[in-house]
Amino acid sequence: MTTNTRATVKTTATRLTKTLWSWASILDDGAREQAERTSTMPFVYPHLALMPDAHLGLGATVGSVIPTLRAIVPAAVGVDIGCGMVAVRTQYTAADIAGPALRDLRLAIEQAVPTSAGSYNQRLTETAEARVAELEALAGKAGFDPARYAGSWRLQLGSLGSGNHFIEVSLDEEDRVWFFLHSGSRGVGNKIAQHHIAVARDLMTRYWIDLPDKDLAYLVEGTDEFWAYIRELRWAQHFALLNREEMMDRVVAAFDAWSGLAPVEEAERINCHHNFTELEHHFHKDVWVSRKGAIRAREGDPGLIPGSMGTASYVVVGKGNPLALDSAPHGAGREYSRSKARRTFTHEQLREAMAGIEYRDTDAFIDEIPAAYKSIDRVMQDAADLVEVRHTLRQIVNVKGD
């Protein structure tokens, strides 16, 4: 039993150091050492929490929750600011869509949503106009022009990206049809993050501050650099949320056209970040909580935890675990780097893993093979005191960018 400021909570976590708790039953030495370095920063309070999917990242471990007093580490948020997931439950079931070919649905989605790194819209679509106007107004209030980072930022809204970003059509335990996608703030968010990481590094050099890792460079609350980052971070987080909303609307439209059924009636929509920072109250203090590969899981919070390509994903509700700083994992978490996965696995193994799922059959996705990730079942077992599973989703269509 662990006593904390809010309640007495049973936990599966392991205390690795005075300032580091871990829910990860699978944790390699490199990730553990990296997390330990981060947890020693003097402004971390009360402790760093490692989620079940934790693995090595840039500066800070992916799958970590880092609460900080009066300071923030831009690399602890990551370069894909606001990355996260959105899911929609429809009124339809598997029986309703048994006729049309799923391949045609995949192709329709790929035509509606630009995929791959650097692939954006050719024009500002009608559905994106209101969202772009909202972002322009928000940028004006924040006092900056996103075009200084990416002149094409408006055309980036409604684009997926590559890597582990995806769009899926799935069925739940009752065979109900869901749409599920994963993406973030695209090129403009990356440029914003890279700029402020560089600013933080420059400040460390200017003031002769030694760090255990250069990517732990930080900004101090109250300085112009700190508040400039917060303003632009919040803008990028909102861009990411609207980017997912825009893509989801296009997926729904593509499904409507493909199915020939009555328009989709959304029974439920969940949209949540897993690379973000918010000011929150934990253990009697206001702290900046940076979740790098973790979702917020306060009691009652809806959330989404995707598996890897070809495996199950989960719709969850938070349990509000205080020791975990009201957080939960964001996915399966890599066990193999992309380069090692390409050296280890084959195209035929990917085909076997994706059997029964409509996807673009290419060796470009070998590094996304499920075997390159931790078992999502193991991750969910480790997260038993963080979230409750509401729905288990299994893919029938997968769309990715290479």
Instruction: Read off the pLDDT of residues 255-307 as tens digits, 9 standing for 90 and up.
Output: 999 999 999 999 999 999 999 999 999 999 999 999 999 999 999 999 999 99
* Inter-residue contact 115 to 230 (CB < 8 Å): no
pLDDT score, position 333: 87
| Residues whose CB falls within 8 Å of the CB of residue 127, separated by 6 or more in sequence, listed in order | 158, 246, 249, 250
pLDDT score, position 6: 46
pLDDT score, position 10: 66
Q: pLDDT tier at 9 (50, 70, 90 boundaries)? A: low
pLDDT score, position 391: 98
Q: Check the CA dihedral 62-309-187-337 and report its sign.
A: positive
CA 149 to chain centre: 22
Does residue 108 register a pLDDT over 60? yes
DSSP secondary structure of 70-127? SEE-HHHH-SSTT-EEEEEEEEEEGGGGSSS-HHHHHHHHHHHS--STT---SS--HH
Tokens of 311: 């495996």
> Residues of the chain with pLDDT > 90: what percent?
91
From the candidates 282, 330, 347, 391, which is the catalytic residue?
Answer: 330
pLDDT score, position 117: 77
Does residue 4 register a pLDDT over 70? no
pLDDT score, position 12: 81
pLDDT tens readout for residues 236-246: 999 999 999 99
> Residues of the chain with pLDDT > 70: what percent?
98
Residue 330 falls in the annotated catalytic set: yes
Burial-class residue 204 by CB neighbours within 10 Å (0-12, 13-18, 19+). Answer: middle
Does residue 5 register a pLDDT over 50? no
| More confident site: 229 or 7 | 229
pTM listed for this prediction: 0.95
β partners of residue 268 = 89
pLDDT tens readout for residues 325-377: 999 999 998 999 999 999 999 999 999 999 999 999 999 999 999 999 999 99
Averaged pLDDT, 70-85? 96
pLDDT score, position 3: 35
Pairing of strands 302-305, 313-318: antiparallel
